[in-house]
Amino acid sequence: MAASQHITVLGIFVADATFRASRQARMGETILGNSFALGPGGKGSNQAVAAARLKGNVTLLTRLGDDAFADMAEKIWQEAGVKSGAVRDPQSYTGAASIFVDEASGDNAIIVCPGAAGDISADDIDARTDLITSSTVFMTQLEQPLNAAIRGLQVAKEAGVATILNPAPAAPLADKTFALCDYITPNETEAGELTGVEVNSLDDARKAADVLLKKGAGAAVITLGEQGALYHTSHRSELVTAFSAGPVVETTGAGDAFNAGFAVGLSHDMDALEAVRLGCATAGISVTRAGAAASMPTLAEVEALHPFGLTD
């Protein structure tokens, strides 16, 4: 298997501050919580960390403030092996999310402030075109401003770089945006929102995938939770079954794990269907652990679950 070539990820980092209590406080009220955790979040950061743990050669393009949360982000990336392409903005702040979890019901209430990441722009992409055009894979999501994602896809597509759009959170997209995507990787809900096809079965997923192809995507890869993932093109449609690596603890970050594994597979010149299988294996391990970035497996763990023959 060829050594991993370069992956560029465009996305955001936010610090997730999670509070757990028996109920949510009313306005003007103070209550005692039961636990607190501070950890890394943001789909772009999660995907970059997961890809680096699989020994992918990955750079993350983003914006941070110049503060303690930015230092936390850089430390996490350094530990995972992510190359930082972050711009620090001392006039802004690093994104953060306040997450309240009701321990009785499991429901949550979230406030997200993207901070500097909300200012990622097409200009940021144009400043790093050399990095993107020298990559094998370019991957982005829809948490940063849409114009930046579109510009990144344009630069990569024009250079012949494989493009992956993970359309999360789902947002209305023009057909010309789909045409920039060699691969689009929604989950069932996102596929439904993008196509108008409610995805409750494999047949539904294939119908939604057909709509995505008609809109211009090169291939649709629809993740289907415990069923696995559908790889669908104009001439090939196959379900890759999910991997069971143990009891499911938490599904947070499973989609990010999948996308990272898929991107790493493509960067190793894998057949796309085998890259989907690597994504499923990566996600299968991640759901056996709590957290998002913290749940991402190493290459050795994935190879132990299923031998892909990857080299460091």
* Residues whose CB falls within 8 Å of the CB of residue 309, separated by 6 or more in sequence, listed in order: 1
- How far apart CA 137 and CA 5 sit, in angstroms, is 8
CATH of domain 6-13+43-93+117-305: 3.40.1190.20
- Identify the band that residue 2 occupies on the pLDDT scale cut at 50, 70 and 90: low
Condensed to tens digits (0 to 9), the pLDDT of residues 67-106 reads: 999 999 999 999 999 999 999 999 999 999 998 888 887 7
Q: How far apart are CA 155 and CA 188, in angstroms?
A: 28
Identify the helix (H) or strand (E) that includes residue 49: helix 43-53
Domain ranges of the chain: 6-13+43-93+117-305
Half-sphere exposure of 165 (CA within 13 A, CB side): 33
C-beta separation of 16 from 41 below 8 A: yes
Separation between Cα atoms, residue 194 and residue 96, nearest integer Å? 27
Catalytic residue ranges: 256
pLDDT in tens, 213-262: 999 999 999 999 999 999 999 999 999 999 988 888 777 788 999 999 99
What pTM, to 2 d.p., does this model score? 0.93
